[in-house]
């Protein structure tokens, strides 16, 4: 399906994030609230995100998704309230940029899983989605999402 799968090794990336458990139906609202709170915190600090926002998925239980929503930042800042100062861990990652509606990304996930297995890469179970643009700014078929599997 996709030939743009690649393995990268990255250093740890400081982030400000909010972790929660939610259903997939409520996820868009949770993401919106979390991003607004984090951007407000960054404004208080006189800072801006250094990269695009992300959501990390710690499981795939669609009724009880364990997620982390956040922004990469230039250095470790203090958290505040539910906002945590944490990091995207260093290490090997399998990545792919997907173009299209979020709801249609499952075949890309399946292809990546197959490709990782065929190439001897074992995912940890944590997957990040990095959002290069927003459904508020572009049509669904123009959405760009970087899918990142953390590898063992």
Look at residues 13, 68, 18 and name the one whose alpha carbon lies nearest to residue 38: 18
CB of 127 closer than 8 Å to CB of 55: no
pLDDT mean over 122-149: 96
Q: What is the pLDDT of residue 76?
A: 94
Mean pLDDT of the chain: 95
Our CA dihedral for 143, 140, 4, 48, rounded to 10 degrees, sits at 10
Q: Is the pLDDT of residue 22 over 60?
A: yes
Q: What is the pLDDT of residue 110?
A: 95
| Helix, strand, coil shares, percent, the chain, to 5 | 25, 40, 35
> DSSP assignment, residue 63?
T
100 — alpha (psi -120 to 50), left (phi > 0) or beta?
Answer: left
Q: Is the pLDDT of residue 145 over 90?
A: yes
pLDDT mean over 98-116: 95
Q: What is the pLDDT of residue 3?
A: 61
pLDDT mean over 40-64: 96
- Compare 71 and 1 and report the one with higher pLDDT: 71
> What residue ranges define each of the domains in the chain, with the CATH number in brackets?
6-151 (3.20.80.10)
pLDDT mean over 135-141: 94
Sign of CA dihedral 28, 32, 33, 35: positive
Global pTM?
0.95
pLDDT mean over 98-107: 95
Q: What is the pLDDT of residue 123?
A: 97
Q: Is the pLDDT of residue 141 over 80?
A: yes
């Amino acid at each position: 399906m996709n030939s743009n799968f690649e393995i990268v090794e990255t250093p740890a990336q400081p982030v400000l994030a909010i972790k929660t458990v939610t259903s997939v139906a409520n996820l868009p609202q949770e993401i919106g609230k979390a991003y607004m709170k984090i951007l407000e915190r960054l404004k208080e600090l006189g800072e801006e995100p250094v990269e695009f926002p992300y959501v990390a998925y710690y499981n795939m239980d669609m009724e009880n998704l364990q997620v982390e929503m956040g922004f990469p930042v230039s250095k470790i800042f203090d958290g505040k309230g539910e906002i945590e100062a944490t990091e995207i861990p260093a290490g090997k990652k399998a990545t792919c940029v997907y173009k299209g509606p979020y709801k249609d990304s499952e075949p890309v996930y399946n292809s990546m899983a197959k490709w990782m297995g065929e190439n001897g890469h074992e995912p940890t179970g944590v997957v990040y989605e990095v959002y290069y643009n927003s459904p508020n700014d572009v049509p669904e078929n123009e959405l760009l999402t970087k899918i990142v599997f953390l590898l063992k």
